[in-house]
């Protein structure tokens, strides 16, 4: 049963821990009748998931469903697409991503040899490189044959060598986590420390200094994953004592943040005169929101709320919001670039920020930033593919989702090369959650930088994932200067910045602050002179 009294307190007065004031910024109470696909998406497939696991993850209601105020994830013994077991794995990537805070869930755990449920977090962008370099935070892992223990772990280090800091909590009373009761699992994640709790007991602490000479990757956005694996390297496989089905039941998942950790999100790349661009901060009761946009732009809806819709003009600049409640106030601001290109960080000058590399089903690539021979500027991305699977998409990298308008023509261009001529790669545009194929093509690379393109007319309106696939064969594949835009927009604007300070000087922005104030704040935030 949910602890609504605690939830009431946290919503209306914030939570106070060690003198710190936390805001409830995100929650799923699972009170409906369907999984909220505005918060969660499915990961599907088999192939072992890097751990020799036996299940096939489906998007079926037979494996994940919401009823009677909780989420149920079931692992079943059944044949499906070549696997002998099915289960579910859901995540919040792109829909719930945070840096720092208190992350918690209330969970009933299953039991049995080979049953491996988890509540964990992965980086939304692999800013430091492939796993585990960009980190992993396991809030709760549990082995179904060790019902008196749960584990809290973070992974870091140089891929593919796994480095980790792990602790485990032995439950004393009751003597089993599989007792049919909800148990509470939480981390407190701060800039230099992560702390793990089980049923209110602190049992593991990890400090930034513990990484040694490795990068400390826990300063980026991470997202949640909930799943039950069956079998694998750690728990071993099911045996004749394992009873199926096995269920993990989740009462709620919640995120709390202090004011200084709250983020402003939205599309920080827009076209000139683009309408309907959404920006938001967490929706918190008893909170006021004051928004400002640059000269020439208009807030068309949401003024005074946590989310605004903006029609852009021809001046790019900084969007800002002041958030104020009983925990204090904070001024959040981000620059918005007006450009035809929908791809942030197109040349990898900010490393892998805004890019999403993936390895599935036993296929593997190390995702590296190369500075020795980029096509342009100082960096490019190179994928060193050392193992492939039957699916070319099992080694792929994607930029952030792109927006499509039915009937509009789009131009996609990029520069690429391989370590030897004749190597294959491909691009596919698909629906981000149901994976409907929209368009795509293949390319044969040379060992020199060559520009490639794909021009198409969109058949749907909505967002699409651009999957750049290197899973055809082993080798080294390099990518640089990725460009995706409406063809018509390419004729409206170049990639050069429109200088915000060139707008009329008698229109200061925001009204109580001149533009110089905000530019100085932006420089201060990003360490610029």
Strands of the sheet with 328-338, listed across from one edge: 269-270, 328-338, 317-325, 288-292
SS3 category, 465: strand
Query: What distances in angstroms separate CA 393 from CA 35, 84, 247, 421, one per listed residue?
Result: 26, 23, 30, 21
DSSP code string of 244-288: S-EEEEEEEEEEEE-GGG---EE-SEE-TT---EEEE----TT-E
- Name the phi and psi angles at 170, rounded to 5: -90, 115
pLDDT for the residue numbered 317: 84
Give the closest residue to 413 by CA, choosing from 487, 466, 484: 484
pLDDT tens over the chain, length 529 residues: 454 433 433 443 355 545 689 999 999 999 999 999 999 999 998 989 888 999 999 999 999 999 999 999 999 999 999 999 999 999 999 899 999 999 999 999 999 999 999 999 999 988 887 788 889 999 999 999 999 999 999 999 986 667 888 888 887 767 899 999 999 999 999 999 999 999 999 999 999 999 988 889 999 999 999 999 999 999 999 999 999 999 999 999 999 999 999 999 998 888 888 899 999 999 998 999 999 998 889 999 999 999 999 999 888 888 999 999 999 999 998 888 888 888 988 999 989 888 989 888 788 999 999 999 999 889 999 999 999 999 999 999 999 899 999 999 999 999 999 999 999 999 999 998 788 999 999 999 999 999 999 999 999 999 999 999 999 999 999 999 999 999 888 766 543 333 333 333 333 344 444 445 545 555 555 454 4
Say whether 136 is catalytic. yes
Token representation of residue 200: 């209110």
The single residue of 74, 104, 111, 141 carrying the catalytic annotation is 141
- What's the Rg (C-alpha) of the chain? 24
DSSP code string of 111-151: -STTEEEEEEEEESS-TT-TTTTT-EEEEEE--TT-TTEEE
Residue 338 and residue 439: Cα distance in Å, rounded? 26
- Name the phi and psi angles at 47, rounded to 5: 95, 5
Give the single-character DSSP code of 209: G
Residue 130 and residue 350: Cα distance in Å, rounded? 15
Please name every residue paired with 238 in a beta bridge, in sequence order, or none if there are none: none
Give the closest residue to 293 by CA, choosing from 282, 281, 279: 279
Give the closest residue to 63 by CA, choosing from 77, 49, 48: 77
The single residue of 74, 104, 136, 188 carrying the catalytic annotation is 136
Say whether 29 is catalytic. no
What domains does the chain contain, in order, with CATH numbers?
25-257 (2.60.120.200), 260-338+499-525 (2.60.40.10), 355-490 (2.60.120.260)
**Non-local CB neighbours of 346 within 8 Å, separated by 6+ positions:** 399, 481, 482, 483
What spatial distance separates the first Cα and last Cα of the chain, rounded to whole Å?
A: 53
Token representation of residue 359: 């390895």
- How much is the pTM? 0.77
Query: What distances in angstroms separate CA 112 from CA 119, 152, 228, 380, one per listed residue?
Result: 18, 20, 12, 47
């Amino acid at each position: 049963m949910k602890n609504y009294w605690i939830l009431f307190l946290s919503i209306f007065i914030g939570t106070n821990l060690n003198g710190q004031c936390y805001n409830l910024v995100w929650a799923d109470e699972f009170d409906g009748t369907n999984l909220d696909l505005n918060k969660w998406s499915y990961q599907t497939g088999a192939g072992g998931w890097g751990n020799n696991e036996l299940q096939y993850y489906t998007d079926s209601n037979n494996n994940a469903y919401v009823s009677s105020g909780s989420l149920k994830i079931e692992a079943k013994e059944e044949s499906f697409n070549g696997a002998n077991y099915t289960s579910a794995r859901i995540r919040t990537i792109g829909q719930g991503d945070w840096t720092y805070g208190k992350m918690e869930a209330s969970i009933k755990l299953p039991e049995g040899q080979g049953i491996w449920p988890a509540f964990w977090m992965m980086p939304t962008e692999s800013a430091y490189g492939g796993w585990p370099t960009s980190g992993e935070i396991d809030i709760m892992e549990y082995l179904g044959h060790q019902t008196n223990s749960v584990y809290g772990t973070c992974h870091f280090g140089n891929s593919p060598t796994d480095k980790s800091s792990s602790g485990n909590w032995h439950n004393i009373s009751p003597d089993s986590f599989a007792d049919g009761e909800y148990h509470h699992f939480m981390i407190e994640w701060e800039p230099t420390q992560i702390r793990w709790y089980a049923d209110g007991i602190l049992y593991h602490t990890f400090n930034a200094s513990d990484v040694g000479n490795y990068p400390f990757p826990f300063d980026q956005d991470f997202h949640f994953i909930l799943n039950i694996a069956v079998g694998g390297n750690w728990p071993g496989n099911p045996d004749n004592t394992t009873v199926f089905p096995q269920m993990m039941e989740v009462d709620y998942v919640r995120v709390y943040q202090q004011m200084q950790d709250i983020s402003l999100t939205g599309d920080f790349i827009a076209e000139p005169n683009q309408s309907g661009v959404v920006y938001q901060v967490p929706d918190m009761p008893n909170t006021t929101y004051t928004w400002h946009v640059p000269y020439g732009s208009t807030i068309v809806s949401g003024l005074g709320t946590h989310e605004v819709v903006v029609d852009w003009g021809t001046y790019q600049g900084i969007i800002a919001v002041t958030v104020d409640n009983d925990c204090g106030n904070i001024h959040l601001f981000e620059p918005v670039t007006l450009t035809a290109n929908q791809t942030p960080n197109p040349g990898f000058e900010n490393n892998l920020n805004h890019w999403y590399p993936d390895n599935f089903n036993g296929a593997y690539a190390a995702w590296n930033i190369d500075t020795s021979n980029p096509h342009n500027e100082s960096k490019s991305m190179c994928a060193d593919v050392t193992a492939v699977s039957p699916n070319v998409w099992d080694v792929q990298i994607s930029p952030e989702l792109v927006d499509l308008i039915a009937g509009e023509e789009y131009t996609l261009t990029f520069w690429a090369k391989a370590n030897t001529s004749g190597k294959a790669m491909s691009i596919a545009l698909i629906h981000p959650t149901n994976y409907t194929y929209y368009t795509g093509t293949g390319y044969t690379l040379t060992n020199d930088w060559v520009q490639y393109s794909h021009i198409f007319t969109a058949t749907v309106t909505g967002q699409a994932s651009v999957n750049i696939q290197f899973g055809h064969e082993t080798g080294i594949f390099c990518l640089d200067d990725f460009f995706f835009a409406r063809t018509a927009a390419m004729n409206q604007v170049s990639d050069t910045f429109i200088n915000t300070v060139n707008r009329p000087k008698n229109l200061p922005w925001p009204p109580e602050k001149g533009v110089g104030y905000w530019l100085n704040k932006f420089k201060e935030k990003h360490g610029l002179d």
